[in-house]
Chain A
Amino acid sequence: MTLAPEQLEPISIELPKRLTWRTFPYWLVAILGFVVVMAVQILFGEEFTKAFDFIIGGLGLTLYASALAFVISMFIGLIAAVARMSKSVIARNIATTYIEFIRGVPMLVLLVTFGIVLVPDMLELVGLDRRLFDLTHRGIIGLSAVYGAFLAEVFRAGIESIPKGQTEAARSLGMTKAQTMQRIVIPQAIRNILPALGNDFIALLKDSALLSILAIREMTQMTKLYTGSSFRFDEGYLVLTFVYLSLTLILSLLVQWYGRRIGTVSTSR
């Protein structure tokens, strides 16, 4: 599975089966220690409380942007993956152009380009108002376009992981290509790639911090605003780090729990 280098793996919480002084997860204690210390600071330290109360105001937008961008990028990714594997030269080349274009440019640059240039220009091109979308939604579209290209590769790997015999069996029953894709191949592919998709959602949530470049008031932007006016850089960025770390820890636990749950059910023949 080819994944873009930007996608760092989330923290893996793999606990050893037998605990000895060699296998003991000291690193987890250290991370949880940081989280606990920060939680205490936020609860009882006045400056930390102030920073937290301000920054957490961006949490809603961080979650909203991540969730919406993820849903849109799944659609884009699925279409791009199918197009990339299609027999049609045109479809294949359009999809490959898109994917390689996105992979060749830094995400930060893409977000600015989409938000300020491409989205308004494309709206104008199809005869709509340049300002149809506010900056927040232009940023979300940019993030979706970037992750759509990443997810296209994940979907492609998932679809290619389904044995050819599945397609042959479906086609031999008289099912069309489209029916075979929709009813036989894609449902199995999605089940196989769910853990990978979960990891990509975590990566997207972290990358949503880049939306601050467009002055979208998600958590990172809120931290910039807070530290810019209060000069409390220590508290501001430590609190921001704490919130992101807590979110990714919770989400990776969920992904791993789910991965283990479906891992017990064999999906191949």
Chain B
Amino acid sequence: MSSIISIQGLHKYFGDVQAVKNVGLEIARGEVVAIVGPSGSGKSTVLRCINYLEEPTAGTIVIDGDELGSDDIDINLIRAEVGMVFQSFNLFPHLTALENVTVAQKLVRKRKPDEADRVGMEQLARVGIPEKAESYPHQLSGGQQQRVAIARSLAMEPKIMLFDEPTSALDPEMIKEVLDVMLLLASEGMTMVVVTHEMGFCRAAANRVVFMDEGEVVEIAPPDQLFSAPQHDRTKLFLSQILQH
């Protein structure tokens, strides 16, 4: 099985604090991997290292054959292939929904305005809000903003999508509309790495779940196995805490 993402011996320090300790992870093409764990466990940092928003202190990350940080690759080209969806959406507030979805297509993919608009509308339709193309982010609900953010990444036609707690900033009634879009992507065979607290999503869509604690990978297993028969005490403790309510 060839990996599209290969992480080996990843360490990340912020000053003296070690956020990530010796993480290794192989992700296959088309696989959906969820990363769960208590806050401060380093799961977001691992995700941010995958598109080099954080520079690893040590270790190697290979994306589809290209090693991040080596001199002969252009990180901007890799990032165009790796979509990222943030907890706080980070839409560009001075641009309309459609412009949010087209700006990087034009600048990075060098698409003509017509083509960028066409692809942009397709992606807005895919996330279910083509009628909001001319709206500005502040005119949209949180769930709509997050869906525009997903469309913005999809318009680059990425090989991999990274999701950093995409529903954590949403009101409960809006979580489903975002998860539905993510489930659709998973069913279409997109390679996805998702940091999340949504155990329902993990069960429904994830091929494997990675449990992290204190910067380390504690356990990796398919969701059914991890949730019903966790092997480590730390996993059991975490699951008992989040499944209590």
Contacts and interface: CB of A to CB of B under 8 A. Distances in A.
A255 B51 CA distance: 43
A188 B100 CA distance: 14
B138 A265 contact: yes
B211 interface: no
Interface SS majority for chain A? helix
A184 B82 CA distance: 20
Interface stretch (B63-71, B83-91, B191-199): B83-91
Interface string A122-155: 0000000000000000000000000000000000
Nearest to B103: A183
Nearest to B88: A165
B108 interface: yes
Contacts of B237: none
A175 interface: yes
Contact of A173 (B94, B138, B152): B152
B153 interface: yes
Contacts of B103: 175, 183-184
A246 interface: no
B142 to A, nearest CB: 10
Contacts of B82: 172
B170 to A, nearest CB: 13
A268 B78 CA distance: 29
A86 interface: no
Interface in B46-85: 51, 53, 76-84
Interface residues of B, number: 30
For A173, A179, A265, the residue with the greatest tally of chain B CB atoms inside 10 Å of its CB is A173
B238 to A, nearest CB: 28
B86 A173 contact: no
B53 A268 contact: no
Nearest to A267: B93
B13 interface: no
Interface string A93-124: 00000000000000000000000000000000
B28 interface: no
Interface in A170-201: 170-176, 179, 183-184, 187-188, 191
Nearest to B80: A174
Interface in A205-236: none
A70 to B, nearest CB: 23
Contact of A184 (B77, B92, B138): B92
A267 to B, nearest CB: 6
B137 interface: yes
A168 B156 contact: no
A87 to B, nearest CB: 13
Contacts of B53: 168, 171-172
Contact of B108 (A175, A184, A265): A175
Interface residues of A, number: 23
B104 A188 contact: no
Contacts of B90: 163, 165-166, 168-169, 269
B107 interface: yes
A188 B93 CA distance: 8
Contacts of A267: 93-94
A174 B79 contact: yes
B93 A173 contact: no
Interface in B125-172: 137-138, 145, 149, 152-153, 156
A266 interface: yes
B92 A173 contact: no
A265 B93 CA distance: 10
Nearest to B109: A174
B36 to A, nearest CB: 22
B8 to A, nearest CB: 22
Interface string B15-38: 000000000000000000000000
Given A187-B94, A265-B138, A172 B51 contact: yes
A265 to B, nearest CB: 7
Given A173-B80, A188-B92, 10 more contacts: A165-B86, A169-B90, A169-B152, A172-B53, A173-B83, A174-B78, A174-B104, A176-B76, A184-B103, A269-B89
Interface of A: 163, 165-166, 168-176, 179, 183-184, 187-188, 191, 265-269
The 4 closest A-B CB pairs, nearest first, are A174-B80, A173-B104, A169-B90, A165-B90
